[in-house]
Structure 1
């Protein structure tokens, strides 16, 4: 593996601005690695022509020679998740309905990433419309896990995570409604960050107010890189009325003295886990204890079944609203995958009273978590209930001897932070499963709006583990 492709975003930025690497050489090396590795994992899609990308890189080199830098990402190759629009590059949303759609505009985060100097080389693969935590679709096929090509890379940011893990990109963007940053981060031994809701704006489409479950977020191979990309993505934009102003991201050294961390684990037996996952994730706890934190096993004093009901009610109702026009056209409906159809049909039958009750449960869950944070600095829990599974499956039908009644029940562990809109950094926890070679990860959940604090805790954890140095043997 080239030393160039092993560099993270911050290291690559330093090398480019220090004139130790030219933008053209970086682009040429990255494209060579994509040509060699991507056919095996299928993480990068809609790759732009090499001659165009190299010409852009040469322009970046000329600008640097003239003393001008566009920003910290000057000349850096990046691919955008195929759920965000990038002008002039095909954006399929993983759907055959949009297989030929080429937008003439950028999503807000793409504007900001370009303004910071990055060169968008293509897109990263995602499940159809981002539904399900397994990145396959009828347009581009399956994204495979760099640590085991027979396994899933997760999703919906599976292409981004696999590309990072395989050293095809220095940093990547993702998004997260139901673990779409956190599952693939754990599956691919990288870092993902679901920020507080509102931190990163996006073009809202038809609804700018009701859909407050999903958020964009950064991914990388270090917390430092993730924090730096987050700072680029974040901040108020008037086109997104839910967006928040953001100050500079400051990573500090937390003082563990007298501080406590809550381990939610399997939520007191409520959640089933594949054998070995809890052992691997639980092995992260001594790291926090060695740092000086007191770790308690905590069983939430809340009816988690109600949280699940509220989640599925709101998710399906929002899906039905946003995709109703496609569903009502028989020709288009026939091209939607079964899980999307199930979400829409479930949502179309949700009464208004259930929407209100689901929001009330969500409110009560948030209020309960506030009482937990009175005692605990952070919450820790696994980022998925299974190890990376067979890439030929659509989703795990059984976990820990329990049948999964929906396509996303196996990832229920991620919905608590999503429902509360809390910041979560997903960190590697180790390896297990068949052959002890499959990655697993943890979620470190911070207080409301505690983005800087939880990133700082993630950085402290990173400095005291070495999982991120373990590279897949492609």
Structure 2
């Protein structure tokens, strides 16, 4: 058995349900890693007492021994982003105005994660009110990138992304208005997925700005992210704009031949990139083209008349003609 904290979420779920790993051993492994690593990166905040968490893990083991599983995340340590309410846990929104707020209810997706068996160990850090692409606030301070403590973890789901990357939690929830799931995932070399609005319901969605922000999953592997999204998603009458239930589990790889991808790149020189980032992203286009997808550059103006590149795609041309 590999170190417990290095298992993917689905691998951990299988190990727990096969009883080759106990919920207590899982909690002990994660708490030990949090104790060692979290002080340097400050990804997790409002952490609960280890004794209480181990007591809950023991109860989860007793339930499995009796043949009862709460769900695929049975016994998982989980930290909810500090912009969502979880019953009994502080929810500061990264603001001193809410530093003492402890909700007596779960947000809808939190309720579903709890019902799937997760044990909430605390919260993941976020910028004040989720505003910003870097994670720091006056309540808990800054979250640092586990790959380089002098670098940003991104935001606003920076605490979640850094915690996953550092092996402090198997997977995490996040939220995204203008990249808050995607940019921290990229900064920390994990996977963040922004779902369609309404896919994951929420309480109290304001009908204008609320439609810009969505809640979604984050993990180290695509299949883990899909599994968490399946747990979070689905209609709830408390959110009238939520979408109907749908099977979101991963199936066999589809035939993508002929499908089209629009490649924005640096928008023909308009968007700045640090050296190497754009080239790294472009290298993935060859992989996609090899799967049969057609890659089309996004035009900068309406006069551009590009055509799709078939499977022989070998890179973006930097010539003035190719840039429109």
- Counting only pairs closer than 5 Å after superposition, residues 334-413 of structure 1 correspond to structure 2 as none
- Tell me, what secondary structure is at the counterpart of 1:114? helix
Distance in 1, Cα, partners of 2:209 & 2:154: 27
Residue by residue over 1:177-206, the C-alpha shift from the partner in whole angstroms, topping out at 9 and shown as x without a partner, is 01000000100000011001100011116x
- Counting only pairs closer than 5 Å after superposition, residues 31-430 of structure 1 correspond to structure 2 as 31-204=31-204, 207-208=206-207, 211-252=210-251, 253-301=253-301
Distance in 1, Cα, partners of 2:66 & 2:229: 28
Is the 1:53–1:121 contact (alpha carbons within 8 Å) kept by the matching residues of 2?
yes
Is the 1:60–1:75 contact (alpha carbons within 8 Å) kept by the matching residues of 2?
yes
CA shift at 1:266, angstroms?
1.5
Distance in 2, Cα, partners of 1:257 & 1:153: 36
Residue by residue over 1:61-102, the C-alpha shift from the partner in whole angstroms, topping out at 9 and shown as x without a partner, is 000000000000001110000000111111100001111111
Residue by residue over 1:270-322, the C-alpha shift from the partner in whole angstroms, topping out at 9 and shown as x without a partner, is 3222333211221211121222323232225479xxxxxxxxxxxxxxxxxxx
Q: TM-score, normalised by structure 2?
A: 0.90
CA shift at 1:151, angstroms?
0.2
Distance in 2, Cα, partners of 1:209 & 1:182: 22
Is the 1:164–1:220 contact (alpha carbons within 8 Å) kept by the matching residues of 2?
yes
Residue by residue over 1:327-368, the C-alpha shift from the partner in whole angstroms, topping out at 9 and shown as x without a partner, is xxxxxxxxxxxxxxxxxxxxxxxxxxxxxxxxxxxxxxxxxx
CA shift at 1:238, angstroms?
1.1
CA shift at 1:211, angstroms?
2.5
The structure with higher relative contact order (CA 8 Å, sep 6+) is 1
Residues 1:28 and 2:65 are matched in the alignment: no
CA shift at 1:249, angstroms?
1.1
RMSD: 1.8
Is the 2:230–2:249 contact (alpha carbons within 8 Å) kept by the matching residues of 1?
no
Distance in 2, Cα, partners of 1:100 & 1:145: 27
Specify every segment of 5 or more residues in structure 1 that has no aligned partner in the other structure, as ranges. Answer: 304-371, 377-474
Which segments of structure 1 move beyond 6 Å, counting only runs of 4 or more?
Answer: none
Residue by residue over 1:358-409, the C-alpha shift from the partner in whole angstroms, topping out at 9 and shown as x without a partner, is xxxxxxxxxxxxxx9xx89xxxxxxxxxxxxxxxxxxxxxxxxxxxxxxxxx
CA shift at 1:258, angstroms?
2.7
Residue by residue over 1:230-277, the C-alpha shift from the partner in whole angstroms, topping out at 9 and shown as x without a partner, is 000001111111111121213231213233322111222332223332
Residue by residue over 1:22-43, the C-alpha shift from the partner in whole angstroms, topping out at 9 and shown as x without a partner, is 0001001100000000011100
- Tell me, what secondary structure is at the counterpart of 1:178? coil
Is the 2:96–2:139 contact (alpha carbons within 8 Å) kept by the matching residues of 1?
yes
- Tell me, what secondary structure is at the counterpart of 1:284? helix
Indicate the larger mover: 116-125 or 248-257: 248-257
- Going by fraction, where is helix more abundant, 1 or 2? 1
Distance in 2, Cα, partners of 1:85 & 1:302: 45
Distance in 2, Cα, partners of 1:258 & 1:81: 39
Is the 2:227–2:249 contact (alpha carbons within 8 Å) kept by the matching residues of 1?
no
Distance in 2, Cα, partners of 1:258 & 1:85: 43
- Tell me, what secondary structure is at the counterpart of 2:210? coil
Specify every segment of 5 or more residues in structure 2 that has no aligned partner in the other structure, as ranges. Answer: 310-324
Is the 1:209–1:242 contact (alpha carbons within 8 Å) kept by the matching residues of 2?
no
